[in-house]
Chains A and B, each alone.
Chain A
Amino acid sequence: MDKFTTLTGIAAPMPLINIDTDMIIPKQFLKTIKRSGLGVNLFDEMRYDDDGKEIPDFVLNKDAYREAEILVAGENFGCGSSREHAPWAIKDFGIRCVIAPSFADIFYNNCFKNGILPIALPQEQVDALMKDAEKGANARMTIDLDAQTVTTSDGESFSFEVDAFKKRCLMEGLDDIGLTMEKAGSIDRFETQAEQARPWV
């Protein structure tokens, strides 16, 4: 997995609540058996019209935000299905960090498995970051995962919370399956005990 330590980049504002995984990557793009190549279809139905032409008003179609690496959005980002195609599409587009007042549980977990940092902050702080993002390409935000801070282009800084284990995996780019396999002895012992306690399972 790609490491995430610090990031300075353009932030795209999407002041919309309940951005669901069907919006992020519509189901017709789930027919792939690969993880790559989904960035072009990120937010497909909001981004392109029926003829496949770009809708100029959509934020990622504006020149200022085509290179965005950060997304600032409304509450409950990533609600809906468990499709990991959503973070795959976000990552493939080039976005490495999503900031919102809250995230849906499965999407939040999926981000960490793909080198994306989801940051939950209070609404008023997200409002301030949204304003900063609206300034366009000359305003760059900085994310420092080790320090757990987001800093606006004006130098205003906000601290965020992140689970220590998830932070370590992201900073070091760890393969968590490999980490779990180091605990195979514990899993073996559990299986033996469970087999006796609940042999019908």
Chain B
Amino acid sequence: MSPKTLYDKIWDAHVAHEAEDGTCLLYIDRHLVHEVTSPQAFEGLRMTGRSVRAPDKTIAVPDHNVPTTPGREDPKNMTEDSAIQVAALDKNAKEFGIHYYPVSDVRQGIVHIVGPEQGWTLPGMTVVCGDSHTATHGAFGALAHGIGTSEVEHVLATQTLIQKKSKNMKVEITGKLRPGVTAKDITLSVIGHTGTAGGTGYVIEYCGEAIRDLSMEGRMTVCNMAIEGGARAGLIAPDEKTFEYCKGRPHAPKGAQWEAAMAWWKTLYSDDDAHWDEIITIKGDEIAPVVTWGTSPEDVLPITATVPSADDFDGGKVGAAQRSLDYMGLTPGTPLSEVEIDTVFIGSCTNGRIEDLRAAAEILKGKKKKDGLRAMVVPGSGLVRAQAEEEGLADIFKEAGFEWRLAGCSMCLAMNPDQLKPGERCAATSNRNFEGRQGRGGRTHLMSPAMAAAAAITGKLTDVRELI
């Protein structure tokens, strides 16, 4: 048998039909659904008299547009449009008989945090969702990617997607990370290296010692941002850490089925002589704590650097960099560590898991946020929130002056009332620094939870290594 990559193996195990031109129907094992990109798809089913083919493989949770303040179980405490979208999801979940975690359920949270937490996401699966950060689930060695609403409807109706195979890219992070450097710094540094279109047409497999050393939470952070590099999906081969994370989760297999699953999962790795269309190698010990300076996730620099000038770039990037600098209100040559911020946001599907909250709390313990700064922590799920309270992390955040919110996407995409005002500058643990992303005119600097915590204390972008 010819050697295969991990992607090849998962792909081959899910082809339900292949046409002569290579167009395939890829079978979908898990379909995650949220309130913003699904109403039109369910409406489409109704209009055509179609049903959900595999409701037991379909899991819904409202996250994008829900408030993160108390009392939200009552629709009266939501904005009218949020209440309409959440009510539509309630109705659709009930009518089509799919699994559902309403806002009143402690298990509710960001769809990409709930899936792994509940054991829906398992190695070797195909996972899709009407959200680009579905790439997160690749941390389990699952082929996971975002789809549009028409494709959501296609998966609901047929449990398959029309797909052509992508190319294989290997991104190897060798050696050990230095202190203060995290999974977020890895994933931002990779995008800084490849650009936001560098991964277009590829599925990326992340490997190497620095990736192996990461926890499952860290691996989810890395895969989460594969889409910011343009890749269809990011993957990490499952290992003992993966199996340990999955074991005992509510929807993970048990007993003899667990053993059978393990036997297959252990075959899920790229063969030594598999073919790669592209290989990128980055030394782990050369990665620094980074921040973004511009309005594209590829605008990444070590915190020790200075704001670049448009002249530092070529081609279309010259104009884009100038536009970014104008939008961000930054002057070339300014040390990044002198850039003052107004807001700190810790949360999102990139960095809203328990390990992220621990890392931020570690920096904030016994300290206060700078006066006048607005700071909030939005846990990724109700269960992450409960665990953080049990571990005393919530108290650390509250004592440091942070707002302690309920679970949701919140200020990552700012659909709900958690938004920046024009000109406000935010240290954010989320995934996109696009113009207007966190609110019209808002300025976003992406970074790790520890770096965001450090920025909260000093009121400026800060090298976390000075505080550890």
Q: How distant is the Cα of A26 from the Cα of B130 in the complex, in angstroms?
A: 17
CB-CB under 8 A from B413, the residues of chain A are 27, 81
Interface string of B128-149 (1 = CB under 8 A from A): 0011100000000000011111
Q: In the bound complex, what is the Cα–Cα distance between A184 and B39 (angstroms)?
A: 25
Contacts of B316 in A (CB 8 A): 15-17, 74-75
- Select the residue from B27, B124, B232 with max chain A CB neighbours within 10 A: B27
- Within the complex, which residue of B146, B154, B257, B437 is in contact with A199, where a contact is CB–CB below 8 Å? B257
For A20, give the chain B residue with the smallest CB separation.
Answer: B434
Q: Are B154 and A176 in contact (CB under 8 A)?
A: yes
Q: Is the CB of B158 within 8 A of A180?
A: yes
- Interface hub of A26, A27, A113 (most chain B Cβ within 10 A): A27
Do the beta carbons of A15 and B319 come within 8 Å of each other? yes
Interface residue from B40, B261, B434 paired with A35 (Cβ < 8 Å)? B40
How far, in Å, is B42 (CB) from chain A's closest CB?
9
CB distance from B162 to the nearest CB of A (A): 6
Q: In the bound complex, do residue B16 and residue A186 qualify as a contact, i.e. CB atoms below 8 Å apart? A: yes
Q: Is the CB of B440 within 8 A of A45?
A: yes
Contacts of B260 in A (CB 8 A): 199-200
Q: How far is the CA of A100 from the CA of B258 in the complex (A)?
A: 48
Interface hit among A57-65, A104-112, A154-162: A104-112
Q: For B149, what are the chain A residues with a Cβ–Cβ distance below 8 Å?
A: 35, 84
A201 to B153, CA, bound (A): 21
Across the interface, do B261 and A105 meet the contact criterion of CB distance under 8 Å? no
Q: A residues within 8 A CB of B40?
A: 33-35, 84
Interface centre among B23, B39, B130, B436 (most CB of A within 10 A): B436
Task: Please indicate the chain A residues that have their CB under 8 angstroms from the CB of B310 in the complex.
Answer: none
Q: CB of B302 within 8 A of chain A?
A: no
Give the distance to chain A from B41, nearest Cβ to Cβ, in Å.
Answer: 9
Interface positions, chain B 312-364, Cβ under 8 Å from A, are 316-317, 319-320, 323
* Cβ B296 vs Cβ A105 within 8 A: no
Residues 166 to 180 of chain A near chain B (Cβ within 8 Å): 176-177, 180
B contact residues, range: 35 or more
Contacts of B19 in A (CB 8 A): 165
**B64: which A residues are within 8 A, CB to CB?**
30
Query: Of residues 405 to 450 in B, which have CB atoms within 8 Å of A's CB atoms?
Result: 413-415, 422, 432, 434-437, 440-441
Binary contact readout B236-268 vs A (1 if CB under 8 angstroms, 0 otherwise): 000000000000000011000110110010000
How far is B82's CA from A23's CA once the two chains are assembled, in angstroms?
22
Contacts across chains A and B counted by CB atoms under 8 Å: 189
Chain A residues, Cβ within 8 Å of B459: none
Query: Measured between C-beta atoms, what is the minimum distance from B190 to chain A in Å?
Result: 16
Q: Which residue of B lies closest to A82 (CB)?
A: B146
Complex formed: what's the CA distance from A31 to B89 in Å?
Answer: 13
Complex interface residues of chain B between 78 and 130 (CB less than 8 A to chain A): 81-82, 84-85, 88, 122, 124-125, 130
Q: How far is A105 from B450 in the complex, measured between Cα atoms in Å? A: 32
Q: Mark A20-39, 1 if CB is under 8 A from B, else 0.
A: 10110011101111110000
Q: Which one of B37, B124, B148 has the highest number of Cβ atoms from chain A below 10 Å of its Cβ?
A: B148
Residue B197 interfacial (CB < 8 Å): yes
B261 partner residues in chain A, CB cutoff 8 A: 198, 200
A20 to B50 CA separation, bound complex (whole angstroms): 33
User: Do A22 and B157 form a contact, CB below 8 Å, given A74-B316, A82-B148, A84-B150?
Assistant: no
Chain A residue numbers with a CB within 8 Å of B174 are none
Name the segment of A4-12, A143-151, A187-195 touching the other chain: A187-195
Interface centre among B132, B159, B441, by most chain A C-beta atoms within 10 angstroms, is B132
> CA A190 – CA B54 in complex, angstroms?
13
Asked whether any CB of chain A lies closer than 8 Å to the CB of B25, the reply is: yes
Minimum CB–CB distance from B14 to chain A (whole Å) comes to 8
Q: Are B436 and A200 in contact (CB under 8 A)?
A: no
Q: With the chains together, A159 CA to B407 CA distance in Å?
A: 49
**Cα distance A184–B51 in the bound complex, in angstroms:** 14
Q: Are B422 and A45 in contact (CB under 8 A)?
A: no
Complex CA distance for A83 and B252, rounded to whole angstroms: 30
Are B130 and A80 interface neighbours, CB within 8 A? no
Q: How far is the CB of A74 from chain B (nearest CB, A)?
A: 5
Asked if A200 meets B257 with Cβ closer than 8 Å, knowing A81-B132, A110-B150, the reply is: yes
Residues of A within 8 A of B81 (CB): 31-32
B58 within 8 A of A: no
Contact between B16 and A190, CB atoms less than 8 A apart: yes
CB < 8 Å neighbour of B230 from A45, A79, A184: A79
Which residue on B lies nearest to A83, using beta carbons?
Answer: B37
Contact B148 A102 (CB under 8 A): no
Is B381's beta carbon under 8 Å from chain A?
A: no
Check B162–A176 contact: CB distance below 8 A.
Answer: yes
**Is A163 interfacial (CB-CB < 8 Å)?**
yes
Give Cα A82 to B227, complex, Å. 10
Partner pick for A76 among B150, B200, B436, CB 8 A cutoff? B200
Give the CA-CA distance A32 to B35 in the complex, in Å: 10
Contact B197 A82 (CB under 8 A): no
B168: shortest Cβ distance to chain A, in Å?
15
Q: Whole-angstrom distance from the CB of A182 to the nearest CB of chain B? A: 10
* Contact, CB under 8 Å: B436 / A26: yes
A50 touches B422 (CB 8 A): yes
Query: Shortest Cβ distance from A22 into chain B, in angstroms?
Result: 4
Report the bound CA distance from A180 to B414 in whole Å. 36
- Docked complex Cα distance between A189 and B36 (Å): 33
Q: Indicate whether A183 reaches chain B with its CB closer than 8 angstroms.
A: yes
Which chain A residues border B403 with CB–CB below 8 Å? none
Q: List 9 A-B contacts (CB under 8 A).
A: A16-B316, A22-B435, A23-B434, A27-B415, A50-B440, A81-B413, A106-B147, A165-B162, A187-B17
